[in-house]
Structure 1
């Protein structure tokens, strides 16, 4: 019965529906990058009347990730809902010391070798030796920032293989559920050029290790849809 439900959800483009309170369900897993900071804590609970994945960060960093198989030609748009207590006041997406976000959605890609220079492949090899095999060929990060306008896109302060895209900003919407919609295929083209490679992983996070801050976020209803489809209510 559970397997049938999972297959149906996958066919409908669902990648994150959280219904049962408790620890993160499979295939979600906590991924620590670098392992220097303590991990952000994740659990399914009720936030603002919505059963969702809660992320609590206290000077911490970790992704809650899962593998995905998505046909971006057919369903290039990612829908989700998120909620935060407040943005990270001391964050600054232009620097490593300020690279913290109350909430972010992370989408990772595998690319063919022909789409990357020899230098890029060499740098990725070094990054994986330092930070682990979860480092992707390319990644988009949709973030809830503290100051930059929605739509701001910048390279990560850590690597040019990741782009930060401000999907929400400031504290005006803090303390309430906000629905988002992002054309992942189009955003990849603007960030890296060409068509997306294979989308391999999606992750959610709240991270505060660089600023030594605290944050709490909630995530719900992650689904890929076509450009002509509406996001779930």
Structure 2
């Protein structure tokens, strides 16, 4: 990323978060997570501009009917310039941990929600100050950073660099196509839970017709489409 641009975006975020904290301190009726959506959405857009790539942020990303996991509404979805889903962000109150492996301040609801989200393929937990990048099968955070601004709302250079690297990993994530039907089923099963039809279509389009039929015959978990037949464009 362009150093000056990302530094400006990070410091703008820090100042916005300090403002949110002051507002929350004077009005406890306000939802902490809701107050984070605007500054974090703006920050991600600025990061996309720094990477010369469009970032579109959608809030309250509800799951489609028929998804394997119901009752999970992700706070923010990030899409690229082509409208393809890159990943999700789950927001936490600033007084709660944003690291699922250190659940300080978490309620029973938070813990139950993480059980449903732990298979996500590209997910960030954040409370604004703490950022954790998570992926299915890792068993630990892929990247983690705790931001500590100075009284003027400026972040140390090393923290900005770490946050930049975390977001580079998140925004550059791409699905890969496994070589076997079993591998494909294992990869697509968690993806289908988070409303990723574009990613699923991309993966399946990499296979030949026979491999696609083999996948559908094999898969008992992904539940991607009605198994009475493949879409006509694949035949």
On whether the aligned pair clears a TM of 0.5, the verdict is no
Q: Structure 2 length as normaliser, TM-score?
A: 0.28
Which structure shows the bigger proportion of residues in strand conformation?
1
